[in-house]
Amino acid sequence: MKYTEAATRLFMATGTKFPRQVIWAMGLVKYASAKVNTELGLLSGDIGHAIMEASKEVMDGRFDDEVTVDVFQTGSGTGLNMNINEVIAERAGEISGKRIHPNDHVNLGQSSNDTVSTAIRIAAVHSSMLLLIPALNKLITSLGEKSSLFNTVIKAGRTHLRDALPITLGQELSGYLDAFSHDLKIIESTLDYVKELPIGGTAVGTGLNTHPEFQGRVIKEINEITSLDFKPANKFRGLKLLTDILNLSGALRATAIDLYRLGQDIRLMFSGPMTGLNEIDLPTQGEVAGSSIMPGKTNPVTVEATLLAVAQVVGLDHANQFASMLGEFELAMGVPLMGYNIVLQVHLLSEALSKFTNLVIDGMVPNTDRMRRYAESSPSLITVISPVIGYDKAAEIGRRLTHGLSIREALRELGYTDEQINEILNLEKLTKPGFPLSHES
């Protein structure tokens, strides 16, 4: 493997290797290309079938250890393409007993410029459909169930981290349910764009040194294996621009940020138990010790791990912004890095969504009494009940709230019966549209 051996000296040596999904996609492109070239009579049957068989073995992961080039390499991904070509040529030679050349045979009708840019798009779509879409759907389903289940659980609303009007836990969760539902639609729409493959463009998009039918026929073979409905791209756009992948990265970033916001709210509600909000319990988080020095401490470990994954997804998106700007004229020069990043983003976000759903949202238990006490202690309620009990009494309640009483307790001290208090503090009415309290005449 002459090219690969020399390239490892010239590229970076960070130890950053291409993920399984990208290697699989490269094997798929080589398999489909060899099959089409054989059917078109451009490769002899014995050589073509040997390349196909070796390419399948690459897809299956048999030679992952031999894909040694660093991700930080030449910007077109030539290092990766030639590494794969040489692995397949050597193995195909063993299978056929013939001398098979990595360029003349394995790379026939192709260029690094169109094969690697095609493979990273396949890897991004395949990993998204396999991992991300199911994980996001699972969170959406769980949020829908919890939103309905907790729709009557009254809690204090908060704005600027200060007390505000009442809301239900279900209403809070419904906001995130809607956000993630929109995120899913955006990701699915963006994936349709990423499905456009520039294979067949060879070096600059013209398709020189490849058969005119090559692009369409190769994509047909890829679709027969993946059932993912890939389509031909404008080859000039697909070689010079990676903005379709950048759009997907941006959609992943937006989803990650929504997950971050949900995680922060969960952390605050779980804070305590004595000196924080303690509005919810997360029983699963007690399965590991929260502290190596404080026995019995429970921390929101899954939430925190999720926030770390989110930070990485957002950071990789920023790297993708830079990588997508690399290149001039006919070629993008951030191909290997964006291929690595987008697959890593999908895997990180998918894992975070899955664990967060299973261990946090599914296991959430509201502390309903504490939530209601907070809601009944909010100074914002004074404005609501003032027309009913009068300004002077409302002012007195406000003074008593500063001493730690709830509005219910303050009203009781002012002589109101529990029945009267329940009518005044009908918090359920305050969580719905309308004018719940009328002025006394």
> What are the Cα distances from residue 44, in Å, to 38, 106, 297?
6, 12, 68
Is residue 291 among the annotated active site residues?
yes
Active site (annotated) includes residue 174:
no
C-alpha–C-alpha distance, residues 115 and 102, integer Å? 14
Cβ(43)–Cβ(108) below 8 Å: yes
- Cα–Cα distance measured from residue 97 to residue 93, given in angstroms and rounded to the nearest whole number: 5
Catalytic residue of the set 148, 189, 291, 318:
291
Tell me how far apart the alpha carbons of residues 12 and 208 are, in angstroms, rounded to a whole number: 31
Sequence-distant contacts of 84-88: CB under 8 A, at least 24 apart? 84/23, 84/26, 84/27, 84/30, 84/58, 85/3, 85/30, 86/1, 86/2, 86/3, 86/4, 87/1, 87/54, 87/58, 87/63, 88/27, 88/30, 88/51, 88/54, 88/55, 88/58
d(CA 382, CA 165): 10
CA distances from 29 to 112, 155, 306, 371, 406 (A): 11, 55, 34, 56, 67
Query: How far, in Å, CA of 150 to CA of 414, rounded?
Result: 32
CA atoms within 13 A on the CB side of 180: 27
**Catalytic one among 160, 292, 403, 439?**
160
Q: Three-class SS of residue 231?
A: strand
User: Distance between alpha carbon 16 and the CA centroid of its chain, in Å?
Assistant: 21
What residues are labeled active site?
160, 291
